[in-house]
Amino acid sequence: MSVHGDIWDAVPWPDGWTVRHVAETGSTNADLLADLDAGLIGDRNVLVTDHQTAGRGRLDRRWDAPPGTNLLVSIALAPVPSVPVEATHRVGLAALSAVREVRPDARVALKWPNDLLLDHRKLAGILAQRSSTRDAVVVGLGLNVAWAPDGAARLGPAVRPADVLARLLARFDELPASIGSRYRSELSTIGERVRVELPAGPAVEGTAIDVDEAARLVVRSDDGVVSAFEVGDVVHVRPGENRV
């Protein structure tokens, strides 16, 4: 086990994880991918930072936060699951459990494909990227702890990012071999009226009815047509509430 940096030094990380802390970097995902591609690291390596200057979310959106406020972390996992998106689902489920431990009052849930919601507002986003040379994937997580942008949620300043990460890694280890049913049970998107905004073509509105074995979101549109989506931005449409 290898850890560097002030408050992070005192954290009792679960066995089998290698955790490295840096004060600032461009992107923890990019750093871990470079190390993977160079053969310098392998499975269960973790890089956490106080500040990212070039953090990215899905669809190349910028992900930023004031230094030292939030959990900004990437996790290297190998091999890649047979359904690759399962890697993000596992991290999402582990993060969900960690949040419930540090904030027992939190009404937290997953949102397809890779967000955590607190009281229906975005708490965290997850982005996975595959290594170009290894059978491995890097899963990045940005979770709002002491700071959140307008319209998003945070855990609050009484929570330490390091404590969330330690619990996340421990809960990751406890996940069963098959997580499909658990993922569905924690997914707030199923049963919701949604709008799926696609990379190309018009948005589709309807009711999210399932996630299939390939992790695609199954939606029954207003005209009764059932479609499965591999990618897309999903908006939960609730009358009288903000859309997320």
**Residue pLDDT, tens place only, 163-180:** 999 999 999 999 999 999
- Left if phi > 0, otherwise alpha if psi is -120 to 50, otherwise beta: which for 174? alpha
Asked if 18 and 78 touch (Cβ cutoff 8 Å), the reply is: no
pLDDT tens track of the chain, all 244 residues? 334 446 788 889 999 999 999 999 999 999 999 999 999 999 999 999 999 997 555 445 565 689 999 999 999 999 999 999 999 999 999 999 999 999 999 999 999 999 999 999 999 999 999 999 999 999 999 999 999 999 999 999 999 999 999 999 999 999 999 999 999 999 999 999 999 998 888 899 999 999 999 999 999 998 999 999 998 889 998 765 445 5
What is this structure's pTM?
0.90
**Residue pLDDT, tens place only, 103-144:** 999 999 999 999 999 999 999 999 999 999 999 999 999 999
Q: How far apart are CA 55 and CA 53, in angstroms?
A: 6
* Straight-line distance from the first to the last Cα atom of the chain, in angstroms, rounded to the nearest whole number: 38
